[in-house]
Chains A and B, each alone.
Chain A
Amino acid sequence: MTTTVPRQAAATGPARALAWARKNLFSTWYNSLLTVVFGAFIVWAAIRLVGFLFDIDTTIIRVNLRLFVAGRFPNDQLARLWIGGYITCAGIGLFARAIVRNAEFKAIDAGMAFDRAGWRAVTRRFWPLLMLFAVILGFTRTILPTLLTLLAIVVGIAAFLLGGMLPRGVARRSWLIPIVGTIAFYLAVAGFGGVGWNDWGGFFLNIVLTIAGITLAFPLGLMLALGRRSTLPVVRYMSVTYIEFLRGVPMITLLLMGAFALGFLIPGDRQFSLFLRLLIAITLFQSAYIAEVVRGGLQSVPKGQVEAAQSLGLAPWKTMRLIVLPQALRNVIPAMVGQFISLFKDTTLVFIVGLLDLLRAAQISTAQSEFQAQGLQAVTLPFAALFFWVGCYVMSRESRRLERKLGVGER
């Protein structure tokens, strides 16, 4: 991140402010007009918004907070979700530190300086997340969730510090952490008589569908991208057909297929659950988009790399695995985050075919008898939007940061 130096270092005092306003707000007559009209509109909107925020009755959110976050997760099983949350926090803390540590080791090996992001920078980058947590906890009815959240933060920090003690070998294999973490998470939530994924809901479901969808679609997308660049014409045409077909249709058609038509393709009475069918549909759909993303990465690898590998006598498969893919996949990380964000927003579509995600929770809570017909969608929908906004905004900013760091498109 570039350090922002104040442009006018000695800019203090009303004279400076006036000069600034004259330059940036009232430089010409139409700029002045724009400023006045726009300013009046913004002030009016701000007054309306503040009035609205003070006016609304947030009881509906207080009562339904669990529905929003976790759907109809059974009350007596809720501890499992908290344990799952702790595992996630520990995993993220450990993983983040392990990545940094690995980079440190590499920098030391290469004899380069290494600077670590400070706490202040991290807060500046993730303020929307902190705000979201503060808002959610502000709507809880007991002190318990707040304490449990604080504990989660402690667990995360502890794991982060623990990560600093990881030996070199483990730090290099840090990709194992998410895998082990995911298995542990699933066992904690669903294993040993827990709650299976068919009963998952709320914002939790949106997150699960996004992560699972992208993870499952990635291998398929990679195969399709390689297929599209294959020298075998039949493989190439089939890949192109698949990719262009799925990119030409809206995702809702795939979800309708998953909900209403997929069952016809499987013989016998044994049927997949709705969750699984929709996950299959999402995976099939996303793989086409990921294929295009990966293809962009493959095309960004200079041809000289392949030729150099061939001159070293590497077989085609080894050229791909050792030379092309590592560079290509590094370059597609920002675009993959973009795809992740896009799917994250699109997971709201599952509510149309009957899963209880955050958006559906925001809808059905206004149909409860005590909140009926009071126009409370104006309260619940912005609250739901806040969740998505925070997630997408933080991720898109991080991906832009990563893009600058990786220098994609600058070579």
Chain B
Amino acid sequence: MTSIETPAGGVRPPFWRDVRVIRIFLQILAVVVVFGTIWILGNNLRHELMKQGLPTNFDFLQRPFGVNISDSSFDRGSRVSAALAAGIKNTFLLAIVGVPMVTILGTLIGVARLSTNWLVAKAAGVYVETIRNIPPLLIIIFVFNAVVLQLPKPNDPATPFNSFVISNLKLVGPSLATSAGAGALWLIILVGVVGAVVVAIWRTRFSERTGEPHHRLLFGLGVVAVFAVIGYFATGSPVSISRATVDGRVITGGFGGLGSYFAILIALVVYTSSHIGEIVRGSILAVPRGQTEAANALALSGFQRLRFVVLPQAFRIALPPIINQYLNFVKNTSLAIAIGYAEITVITFQAIGNGQPAPQLILLLMAAYLLFSLTISIVVNILNRRLQLVGR
């Protein structure tokens, strides 16, 4: 910005007007002010913690947690650190199921808003404009109280098709049950998957050589299916469907989750997909019109135009903001605290309520989220750089 050359005569200005000195001085000042403040606050923190008889280090993590966590094998005698780990696991359960769901629903809504069908476009527009202007916390509480809690009571659950057990405490559906020999079956399927990849590569090369359609997905799935069916009978049918059945309040078989899990999952998927829908719509509109017209000129069908021309380009534009929404989704899972689903924030809240030191716990909580956010950001930046390079 400012020139730092010495004047023509070679006489240097006095040091208090020398830009180089001022720059160094300002930086030292900034460091002193910031770290001084942190030091003072840290000192206060230590003194106040000691005054209240609370630990000043992280040894409390080894103490018993003292509360049970519903729907997990965790019992009250286990350590605080184990409880936090269980909380992180539950946060992951929300993220892993939720992120694909918001992607699919959000894309559908974004495409629907641009539909040539007036009714569909308007309906999607109303959905987006309604949902994204309502606080997510309110949606979560609404879904939990007005939808999930209105389901049948746990002592008298609904059992549709004799394979679901639905109550306001827990929702369980049929799942796969394995017996002896299942390991061999998984191995055979794995071989099938490898075979499918090989076949898919062959089909791609074939297509490139001859110009015939490759159908590599179809071929690949076929290979896996053949392996799975043969393996299933060869190993003596080790996998069966386990129906969820209920006896009194005890649910056996099946696979499911707590009502509060589904409440927060549904609410956040509904909320986040409205934002992703807007991003997808904006990205599709940002694809140059000439691309659509060129696809039409090539006589591609509406679906082909979307699948092979518009969406791939739109997603390149949409990727950074969509990842941002994924991060928001994960951060918003912390709102489970309002309905008590035992993810990491709720566990922290309970630990504080049980007399564990709040400052350290909140610091750990922040660190957990931060680690997650930064990891995703780094991955996305790498991905983004690759996407931007390819195809330009």
Contacts and interface: CB of A to CB of B under 8 A. Distances in A.
Contacts of A382: 142
A231 B374 contact: no
Contacts of A14: none
A312 to B, nearest CB: 14
Interface string B132-148: 11111110011001100
A137 B331 CA distance: 37
A349 B146 contact: no
Given A38-B120, A260-B352, A377 B146 contact: yes
Q: How large is the interface on A (under 10, 10 to 19, 20 to 34, 35 or more residues)?
A: 35 or more
A348 B366 CA distance: 20
B34 to A, nearest CB: 6
Q: Is the interface of A mostly helix, strand, loop or mixed?
A: helix
A263 B349 CA distance: 16
A169 interface: no
A204 interface: no
B26 A248 contact: no
Interface string B16-45: 000000010011001100100000010011
Interface in A174-202: none
A265 B41 contact: yes
B27 A233 contact: yes
B119 A345 contact: no
A263 to B, nearest CB: 8
Given A256-B349, A264-B48, A316-B1, A250 B334 contact: yes
Contacts, number: 162
B365 A377 contact: no
Q: Identify which of A244, A316, A341, A349 gathers the most chain B CB atoms within 10 Å of its CB.
A: A349
Contact of B138 (A238, A256, A381, A393): A381
A392 B136 CA distance: 13
Interface in B96-127: 115-120, 123
A24 B117 contact: yes
Nearest to B150: A375
A38 B2 CA distance: 65
B175 interface: no
Contacts of A233: 27
Contact of A34 (B49, B117, B348, B373): B117
A21 B34 CA distance: 66
A264 B358 contact: yes
A185 B373 CA distance: 41
A299 interface: no
B135 A25 contact: no
Contact of B133 (A31, A35, A38, A392): A392
A249 interface: yes
B345 A264 contact: no
7 tightest A-B CB contacts, nearest first: A392-B133, A248-B373, A260-B358, A24-B118, A250-B331, A377-B145, A234-B27
Interface of A: 24-25, 27, 31, 34-35, 38-39, 42, 231-235, 238, 244-245, 247-253, 256-257, 260-261, 263-267, 310, 316, 341, 345-346, 348-349, 351-352, 359, 363, 375, 377-378, 381-382, 384-385, 388-389, 392-393, 396
20 contacts: A25-B118, A38-B119, A42-B119, A233-B27, A245-B370, A249-B369, A249-B370, A253-B334, A253-B366, A256-B349, A256-B352, A257-B362, A260-B358, A264-B44, A359-B138, A375-B146, A381-B146, A382-B142, A388-B134, A388-B138
